[in-house]
Amino acid sequence: MTTLVPSGADRFHSDRRESSADPYRLAIIGAGPRGLQCGEAIASQLANAGPRPRTEITYFEPARCPGAGAVYSPDQPNFLLMNFPAAAIDRSFPSSDSGQTPGFIEWLAREDREAISPGAFLPRATVGRYLSYRFQRLRHRLAAAGICCRVIPHAVMNVSPAENQWRCQTAAGVEAFDQIVFTIGHGLRWRRRTEAATGDTLLPAYPTATNLGPANIAPGASVAVRGFALTCIDVCLALTQGRGGCFFSNGQYRWSYLPSGKEPGSILPFSGTGRPMQPKPDYRQWRVAGASTSIWPRFQSQLTGLEGPSGEEVAGVVFDAADAALADYAQNFGLERPASGVARRWFDRFCQPKTPEEIVRWMRRSIRIAAGKRPADAGWALGEAWRQLYPTLVAQFSFGRHGEAAWQSIAKFSREMERLAFGPPIENAAKLVALVDHGVLDLRHCGDHSRLLSEHGHRIVTAAVETKVDRVVDAVLPSGAETCNNEVAGGLLPESIALKTTPGGAMQTSRGGEPLKSDGTRIESVRCFGRVAEGWVIGHDTLNRSLHNQIDTWATGLAMQLTRSNS
């Protein structure tokens, strides 16, 4: 098995590059999957590059296992599952380094000594073990290329300019760097938002073992959960299965729950819409795997051809694509061809307010469809259409291609489609239904514009019902649009640097990741990749490396810069 190497063994020191003999020093703030990608891109570019200055890479990462970061910590429980199959991870993490670093599925076979189905939805902890292993391999690759790679096990508290360099301050001291890269993901912004908005009255969902344990949420307590998406599912499982409760399956994706007596008395999600997430289809269970791939290029071309597209125009293409997918599915299965416009009508019904009973009925139906136990409907077709068209949408709307407000015009539609396209694995959706059946999960506050009132104790309020609760868990991940000039890059950059943002508040960057100042000029020695630029660069997924080429563009440019400086 792979040995996980904690980051605390590296030494902190404070060299300065004051002459050409000093090393070129690069800081990467955040060693999760995106920070790992940065290092691997550099290793690939510099492995066979010409002469260059001595180069040092320093990662700042407080999580125990660099590469995995906090979100994919190998320490988390195995019931926290990925929401896409092993094959999708393998595509983003294929074999590299001339075969010395195995791809994800090959590594799984070596580690577990058993065949893994490419369609399996695996624990996040398993993916974290692989990412940690891959980071260890990265350090070997960098060392072989003559690049020093250190990991400082502290969070960066402040970044300030100093004599053509940047100073990064942590609890352990200050270091100066020639370039800094931010790959900090959600974490810092989420913590600051929770503290500022609620005075620590909301519990962040992660890490679940620490934040959601009995010390914070007593057995029998009533717990409200802000949000009703993937993170809410993690919270519900952590408060039940994570406390010794057991789920039992009858093999038909119907589960029952046996309590431990240590779980809360009630778990009450609340959200603005209450619309649940549609589980991902498990095509291993289907007689025919959905729609033919040949139908998608036509609709991808339609999206590409839109000039100054509005949200309604984009939605129209998606609805037409879903109709075509459902018709193709019906033909493959010998079913009656669906009527034209069925996807739009289904979507309109889906967006209507629902009672708790209607929510559960919809969840049961979508689980059976995803498992291949009943014929697909327009909901499946919409989810499949969005998954297939999403890379085209990312290319069309990133970097303000159609104007700064273009993405905002379809943002609401995008959020609804994400519920249908990027939902949980069937197993976790079925467990959620089992918790409703058992009575511990209460859906009365889903939808109807539920809101939290915290004067004189916490209360969840809708037009029809008000419920007092003991604790509130925040299960809504922050988006890039929750930033402002002084909060860009987690609030670490100096307030004196006025940065350019979109109308929705997202930081603007160049295609190479450089933050743009308010006058449109670039900060050439800073890069921001991943969710920190969400809202300007569309479609961030921590493990997906195919949607954006910013990091590769940056690494290529850095290699050219270093080789030129040594010529």
Residue pLDDT tens, the chain, 567 long? 334 444 444 444 433 445 557 899 999 999 999 999 999 999 999 877 777 888 999 999 999 999 999 889 999 999 999 998 999 999 888 887 777 899 999 999 888 766 788 889 999 999 999 999 999 999 999 999 889 999 999 999 889 988 889 999 999 999 999 999 999 876 555 555 444 444 447 899 988 988 999 999 999 999 999 999 999 999 999 999 999 999 998 877 889 999 999 999 999 999 888 899 999 999 888 876 677 889 999 999 999 998 877 888 999 999 999 999 999 999 888 888 999 999 999 999 999 989 999 999 999 999 999 999 999 999 999 999 999 999 999 998 888 887 766 777 788 899 999 999 999 999 999 999 999 999 999 999 987 678 888 877 898 888 778 899 999 999 987 654 444 343 445 566 776 677 888 777 778 899 899 999 888 899 989 999 988 788 888 887 778 888 888 999 999 999 988 887 766
DSSP 261: S
Q: Looking at the chain, which residues constitute the CATH 3.50.50.60 domain(s)?
A: 24-187+479-565
CATH number of 24-187+479-565: 3.50.50.60
Pairing state between β 158-162 and 165-170: antiparallel
Rounded (10°) angle between helices 124-144 and 104-112: 110
Q: How confident is the model at residue 15, as a pLDDT? A: 39
Q: How confident is the model at residue 194, as a pLDDT? A: 46
Q: Which fold has domain 189-277+426-474?
A: FAD/NAD(P)-binding domain (3.50.50)
Q: What is the largest CA-CA distance in the chain?
A: 75
> Which of 443, 448, 378 lies closest to 417 in space, CA to CA?
378
What φ, ψ does residue 241 adopt, rounded to 5°?
Answer: -60, -35
Counting Cα atoms < 13 Å in the Cβ hemisphere of 83 gives: 20
Per-residue CA distances from 129 to 5, 24, 144 (Å): 11, 31, 23
Q: How confident is the model at residue 2, as a pLDDT? A: 38
Contacts of 538 (CB under 8 A, 6+ apart): 393, 394, 397, 398, 407
Residues in a beta bridge with 516: 522
Identify how many contiguous H helices and E strands the chain contains and give both numbers: 15, 17
What is the C-alpha R_g of the chain?
A: 24
Q: How confident is the model at residue 547, as a pLDDT? A: 86
**Whole-angstrom Cα distance, residue 423 to residue 404?**
28
